[in-house]
Amino acid sequence: MLVVDSSIALSWCFDDEASPATEALLDQISDEGGLVPGLWHLEVANVLLAAERRGRTISGGIPSRLEDMARLPITTDGETTHRAWRETLTLAKAEGLTAYDACYLELALRHGLPLATKDEALARAARRAGLKVLP
């Protein structure tokens, strides 16, 4: 199992963002499962909506992409919101991250799981914290 942020999930929706590494992560999540904060669902939906409004091509369309993601064995963490004003805010300040990005870091640290992200600042913070970062 691994923590997967929205940048990875969104790479499965746009042909120009997909790579062998992100496709391998999709396979890994299909086999082992993923863990996400509740924010993940809103981030994915918001980016897809904004992309559609700008006329960006979404491989298969939004409903199809969301159905594909809904079939993945991804678990939504129920503790993220309870930690937002303490652990997550502390991490965001210490690492110079947004609270949104820090919630993925907090989740990975709390569960001792690798973090899958394409966000460089988040990846650097996770590595400093001793986490394995994918891809």
The sign of the CA dihedral 88, 90, 93, 95 is negative
The domains of the chain, with CATH numbers, are 2-128 (3.40.50.1010)
Please list the pLDDT of the chain residue by residue as tens digits (135 residues).
Answer: 999 999 999 999 998 899 999 999 999 999 999 999 999 999 999 999 999 999 998 888 899 999 999 999 999 999 999 999 999 999 999 999 999 999 999 999 999 999 999 999 999 999 999 999 999
Q: What is the pLDDT of residue 104?
A: 98
Greatest CA separation for the chain: 40
CA 128 from chain centre, in angstroms, equals 18
Q: What is the pTM (predicted TM-score) of this model?
A: 0.94
Q: What is the pLDDT of residue 12?
A: 92
Give the C-alpha separation, 12 to 6, whole Å. Answer: 10
Q: What is the pLDDT of residue 57?
A: 84
Q: What is the pLDDT of residue 61?
A: 87
Q: What is the pLDDT of residue 120?
A: 98
Q: What is the pLDDT of residue 39?
A: 95
Ordered DSSP codes for 64-86 = HHHHHHHTS-EEEESSHHHHIII
Alpha helices in the chain (DSSP H): 6-11, 20-32, 39-53, 62-70, 80-83, 89-95, 99-111, 120-128
